[in-house]
Amino acid sequence: MKIAVIGAGFVGATTAQRLVERNLGDLVLYDIVEGLPQGKALDMMESAPIWGFESRVVGSNDPKDLSGSEIIIITSGIARQPGMSRDDLLERNAGIVASVADQIRQHASQAMVIVVTNPVDVLTHLAAVKIGTRKERIFGLGGILDAGRFRHFIASELGVAHADVDAMVLGGHGDDMVPLPRFATVNGVSIETLLPAETIQKLVARTREGGAEIVRYLKKGSAYYAPSAAIAQMVESVVRDQKRLLPCSVWCSGQYGITGQFVGLPVILGRSGVERIVELPLNAAELKELQRSSAHVAATTAKLQIGG
């Protein structure tokens, strides 16, 4: 399978590394900066004999090299700095995603598309309309990363194995995302029976702030190790038709009372993309939070006047 990663920065390059190391396909790493994707791709290939993988990665500045890609991952765009929200990136990143979407439409309009660039829910909508991708074949990164953070915080608090902790985070990938403690478990045991309510609320707040916490440390950019791991999980579920149940930013047509926008919901990801949106039995408070978060995404999307 040919997979293209657009943007050879921190997220794009670490994603390419994770994908080739897992032999998930042959990659094109594309960027507008001359030499950057070529140098990173060659460096990765020189690790193949040492690390032991057979997938290949080539770097390119030519959008024609996107042709034939079955999956395209859009990571091109600027990252936030301390004090900024993801929405503050809207104007500049919408321009970048729109130009990349034009190139995808010209050279690989049939590709499945995974959008990463922030604000991701809004820019997934923009890319879907500009490329014309069928809505079940385009989705964005958010919930897997946010749930990964929540799972890590729970595992650390309880001193238990990460592998035993499951959690779900829905809504827009922004400050009002919706971590769901009622659906968080340690090997099937609800965290509500293992931790006091105040502690859970602290972990929820830290999850919502998880991206900003990393930005405060790094000062000139945002997270990429956990994001690239989350992207690789999405790609693997598609390539290997695993049908994992994962929260992704997906097109809503009435689920949870949300219509005509992208927002993070639990989905089954398989070879044909978003195969099904799973409707959890949310209580009234959880549903209200999800709808508030989706209303925020809808309002931000409206600023772009995308239509579609």
Ligand X SMILES: O=C(O)C[C@H](O)C(=O)O
Q: What are the catalytic residues? A: 173
Residue 68 assigned to a binding site: no
Residue 100 assigned to a binding site: no
Closer by beta carbon to ligand NAD, 88 or else 164: 88
Q: How is the beta sheet containing 259-270 ordered, strand by strand?
A: 57-60, 26-30, 2-6, 71-74, 112-115, 138-140, 244-253, 259-270, 273-277
Rounded Cα–Cα distance for residues 244 and 268 (Å): 6
Part of the chain binding ligand NAD (CB under 6 A), chosen from 48-56, 147-155, 176-184, 218-226: 218-226
Q: State both tokens at 238.
A: 């598609």
Q: Which of 28, 170, 203, 223 binds ligand NAD (CB under 6 A)?
A: 223
Closer by beta carbon to ligand NAD, 185 or else 222: 222
DSSP per position, 5-67: EE--SHHHHHHHHHHHHTT--EEEEE-SSTTHHHHHHHHHHTTHHHHT----EEEES-GGGGT
Q: Using CB under 6 A, which residues numbered 127 to 166 contact ligand NAD? A: 141-142, 145
Residue 222 is a binding residue for ligand NAD (CB under 6 A): yes
User: Following CA atoms 263, 268, 273, 279 in sequence, which dihedral angle do they give, to the nearest 10 degrees?
Assistant: -40
Residue 9 assigned to a binding site: yes
The minimum distance between CB 64 and ligand X, in angstroms, equals 30
Closer by beta carbon to ligand NAD, 30 or else 183: 30
Residue 80 is a binding residue for ligand X (CB under 6 A): yes
**Burial (Cβ within 10 Å: 0-12, 13-18, ≥19) of residue 222:** buried
The minimum distance between CB 36 and ligand NAD, in angstroms, equals 6
Residue 11 is a binding residue for ligand NAD (CB under 6 A): yes
Q: Which of 154, 215, 263, 267 binds ligand X (CB under 6 A)?
A: 215
Q: State both tokens at 63.
A: 């959008």
Q: Which position has the token pair 């390059």?
A: 13
- Give the pairing type, strands 71-74 and 2-6: parallel
Residue 222 is a binding residue for ligand X (CB under 6 A): yes
Number of amino acids touching ligand X (CB under 6 A): 12
Residue 96 is a binding residue for ligand NAD (CB under 6 A): yes
From ligand NAD, ligand X, none, which one binds at residue 75 (CB under 5 to 8 Å depending on kind)?
ligand NAD
The minimum distance between CB 15 and ligand X, in angstroms, equals 13
Q: What angle do CA 141, 143, 149 make, to 5 degrees?
A: 110
Rounded Cα–Cα distance for residues 62 and 292 (Å): 41
* Length of the chain as a residue count: 308
Residue 296 is a binding residue for ligand X (CB under 6 A): no
Sign of CA dihedral 121, 118, 113, 1: negative
Residue 66 is a binding residue for ligand NAD (CB under 6 A): no
Closer by beta carbon to ligand X, 5 or else 215: 215
From ligand NAD, ligand X, none, which one binds at residue 215 (CB under 5 to 8 Å depending on kind)?
ligand X
Enumerate the H helices of the chain as residue ranges.
10-21, 36-45, 48-51, 90-107, 120-131, 143-158, 197-208, 210-218, 225-239, 284-304
Residues of this chain that bind ligand X (CB under 6 A): 79-80, 86, 118, 145, 173, 211, 214-215, 222-223, 227
Residues of this chain that bind ligand NAD (CB under 6 A): 6-12, 31-33, 36, 75-80, 89, 93, 96, 99-100, 116-118, 120, 141-142, 145, 173, 221-224, 227
Binding site feature residues for NAD(+): 7-12, 31, 93, 116-118
